[in-house]
Amino acid sequence: MTDTKPPFLAFALPDIGEEEIAEVVDTLRSGWVTTGPKARRFEDDFARYLGEPGLQAIAVNSATAGLHLALEALGIGPGDEVIVPTHTFTATAEVVRYLGADVRLVDVDPVTLNIDPARVEAAITPRTKAFVPVHYAGLAADMPALLEIARRHGLKVVEDAAHALPSTSGGRLVGTLDSHATVFSFYANKTITTGEGGMLVTRDPALAARARVMRLHGISRDAFDRFTATVPSWYYEIVAPGFKYNLTDIAAALGLHQLRKADAFAARRAELVARYDAALADLPVLRPAHAPAGERHAWHLYVLRLADSVRLGRDQVIEALFAAGIGCSVHYIPLHLQPYWRDRYGLRPEQFPHSQRAYERMLSLPLHTRMSDADVDRVAAALRTALA
């Protein structure tokens, strides 16, 4: 018998073309495979893409590294508190603990699932030094309100923009707003990818300089600078106990071409979202929030929430879709439910009703630029069958 079962539809897949492959091969042949000229080009291209003068881009090996570097450069340390949404991946919060500071988790807006500005303001204490808004699923947080809170209370703001290339707020690209730093992710499932990688963006020259030093062991000069100078120099100085957070040229080679495709990728994601919205309009689900008129949603994720009338549990729906050959995920298991955060801070679900309720009913459907319109129709049909 011929197996007519359709192939498994992955939840996320990178969209790598011949341009990226050729650039990686060129890098391998060049002999410069660690941080070097292509990482520098990627930083320059990224700053130009954001399009505002004075921005500096620092390439790192993960968004986690970028968040850590930004908070370290801002002087966060023991005795300080940093406010973080509970509805995020643990990386947003764990970097605060790397520095010996404490995390203050807050709930999210029930519609957008972005950090709630009112909850941020209510959580501020004399120990609060910063907060980290997350642009959930690619929808920009309420940055005007958040930045005004920061201004009134003298707080630092580091945006977790892992989902948010190329999102906008107030008509400006995320990365060009008036926060102290913004950090993007290029992990394999993000809107552009370098496999593993990230970018820290800031207008603050002192923050940028500190991040560059701390990115590579606290060495006073980048390896690229030391080995490509007009007069080669073996001498360097360790000016701080730094980290190993540099992005390789192999990874940057991917990023150079992925960045050129960022707008086309975003347009295709928006097309897939529109098709999902139409196909699921009559089902008992809450579809994801869209960006306000005139703004741009990066659509890293397409997150549904099951209506109260759905008798199947969320896990059963995911199992039904998986049985139909469709990959799904959940974004996220809130931090207040994770043993480390729960036990360290004595957290309870009732403290975070919006995140908790969303988590119990949510699932993320496949969304990536290698999907066809027929793939969306297949997901919608399988979901319809499951909910029936």
In this prediction, residues 305-311 reach a mean pLDDT of: 96
Average pLDDT over residues 270-287: 98
Strands 56-60 and 102-106: unpaired
CATH of 18-260, one of 3.40.50.1980, 3.10.450.40, 3.40.50.720, 3.40.640.10: 3.40.640.10
Q: Is 65 helix (H, G, I), strand (E, B) or coil?
A: helix
Lateral strand order in the sheet of 128-131: 56-60, 198-202, 181-185, 156-160, 128-131, 81-85, 102-106
For the segment 201-205, the average pLDDT, to the nearest whole number, is 98
CB within 8 A of 240, min separation 6: which ones? 213, 214, 218
Task: Considering only residues 5 and 51, tell me which one the structure prediction assigns the higher pLDDT.
Answer: 51
State the average pLDDT over residues 352-362.
Answer: 98
Q: What is the mean pLDDT of residues 78-89?
A: 98
Q: What is the dihedral of CA 73, 87, 280, 373, to 10 degrees?
A: 30
pLDDT of 253 > 60? The answer is: yes
Averaged over 231-251, what is the pLDDT? 89
> What pLDDT score was predicted for residue 56?
98
Phi, psi of 102 (to 5 degrees): -105, 150
Of 5, 190, 244, 261, catalytic: 190
Band of the pLDDT at 228, cuts 50, 70, 90? low
DSSP string, 304-343: EEE-TT--S-HHHHHHHHHHTTB--B-S---GGGSHHHHH
Write down the architecture of domain 262-387 according to CATH.
Alpha-Beta Complex (3.90)
Asked whether the whole model's pTM tops 0.85, one would answer: yes
- pLDDT for the residue 234: 76
pLDDT band for position 254 (cuts 50, 70, 90): very high
Residue 214's pLDDT is what?
A: 98
* 3 state SS of 187: strand
Phi and psi, residue 159, nearest 5°: -85, 130
- On whether the CB atoms of residues 313 and 320 are closer than 8 A, the answer is no
Position 27 confidence tier, pLDDT thresholds 50, 70, 90: very high
CB 63 within 8 A of CB 187: yes
Residue 235: band (very low, low, confident or very high) from pLDDT cuts 50, 70, 90? confident
Domain locations along the chain: 18-260, 262-387
Position 193 pLDDT exceeds 60: yes
For this structure, is 190 an active site residue? yes
Token pair 């309720």 is at which residue? 357
pLDDT band with cut points at 50, 70 and 90 for residue 25: very high
- pLDDT per residue as tens digits for the range 140-182: 999 999 999 999 999 999 999 999 999 999 999 999 999 999 9
Distance CA 346, CA 332 (A): 20
Helix (H) or strand (E) holding 129: strand 128-131
The mean per-residue pLDDT over the stretch 210-235 comes to 77
18-260 matches 262-387 in fold: no
Task: Check residue 215 and give its pLDDT.
Answer: 97
pLDDT at 221: 75
pLDDT at 4: 77
Two tokens, residue 270: 């928006």
CA–CA gap between residue 125 and residue 81 (Å, rounded): 8
Take residue 332 and report the two structure tokens written for it: 């996220």
Supply the mean pLDDT for the chain: 96
In this predicted structure, the answer to whether residue 230 has a pLDDT above a threshold of 60 is no
Q: What is the DSSP letter of 350?
A: G
**Separation between Cα atoms, residue 198 and residue 62, nearest integer Å:** 4
| pLDDT above 70 (res 227) | no
**CA 280 from centroid of its chain's CA atoms:** 26
